[in-house]
Amino acid sequence: MQLGIHLPHIGRKAGPESIRRAAIQAEQLGFDDVWVSEHIIVPQSSPYPPSPNFWDPVVTLTWAAAVTSRVRLGTSVLVLPLRHPLPLAKELATLQNLSQGRLILGAGVGWLEAEFDALGVPFQQRGRRMDEGIAMMRAVWSDDPVTFEARWIPARIDTMRSQPLPVVPIPIWIGGGSDAALRRALRQDGWHGSRVPPDKAAALVRRLRAERPEPGFTISLRVSCNAANVGGMRDTLAAYRDAGVQHVMAAPEDRGLEDYLATAEAFRRAGDRL
């Protein structure tokens, strides 16, 4: 089983030095990848997310890439319908090349309607815009010149060019637990679920493997942990492994950086004892 760790780019512990230290620690401890999340703007009264201090995910991963050489770089997840696919495709291709092919694009449709309203994106169209956005980015990443007929996203692309192309293809893992998200994941390179307990994971794995049995289709889960519960994480990881989950990413909830670093190390040790 592969293990990832979420970088401290959210809340009061976010900052250049904390992200740098965490990324370097992750590589030294043998984590397979480091991860970031996304919210662009949130209502003041919103109970979740608990902090509005979200450092930009793509820029954060670029910072992490500059101080590492091996760990992969993942998004958990980018809210694709909030972004226009053309500049995002350029940013992601650039990061893929700067990092020498280490990027994983975790993508989701989003759920916070007020965030869509603030950005002028129709909330009810988010699924269609996501599907079209993925298709547009894949076209831009593979065709030079590229022609793409868009329906839901404002774009006119007729025999145009966008470089650089990614040095290697960028895998796309779809986040979310709805039927629509699972169907969307089956059309891409992997599924990146969240808040799925081990006793529920096996059924989801069977459902996905019935259509995508090949090992190259990755089944990944995000789990929360902190200093209080990381000690019992070994049994949780073993249960996920037995259910057929290939990859688990831990998102430490500790508010202070030193506690975060200790939790990350304990989580890595739990994985080593499997």
pLDDT at 123: 98
Distances (CA, A) of 214 to 12, 52, 208: 41, 39, 10
Number of domains in the chain: 1
Band of pLDDT at residue 273, cut at 50, 70 and 90: confident
94-145 pLDDT, tens digit each: 999 999 999 999 999 999 999 999 999 999 999 999 999 999 999 999 999 9
Neighbour-count burial of 248, counting CB atoms closer than 10 A to its CB (0-12 exposed, 13-18 middle, 19+ buried): buried
CB 172 within 8 A of CB 80: no
Distance of alpha carbon 234 from alpha carbon 196, whole angstroms = 16
Dihedral over alpha carbons 220, 221, 227, 230 (to 10 degrees): -80
CB 1 within 8 A of CB 248: yes
5-36 pLDDT, tens digit each: 999 999 999 999 999 999 999 999 999 999 99
Residue 137 belongs to a domain with what CATH number? Answer: 3.20.20.30
For residue 117, the enclosing domain spans 2-272
Distance of alpha carbon 267 from alpha carbon 252, whole angstroms = 9
31-48 pLDDT, tens digit each: 999 999 999 999 999 889
Catalytic residue of the set 6, 9, 39, 247 = 39
39 included as an active-site residue: yes
113 included as an active-site residue: yes
Q: Angle 16-29/57-66 helices, nearest 10 degrees? A: 60
CB 35 within 8 A of CB 75: yes
Backbone φ and ψ of 186, nearest 5°: -65, -20
The total number of residues shown for the chain amounts to 274
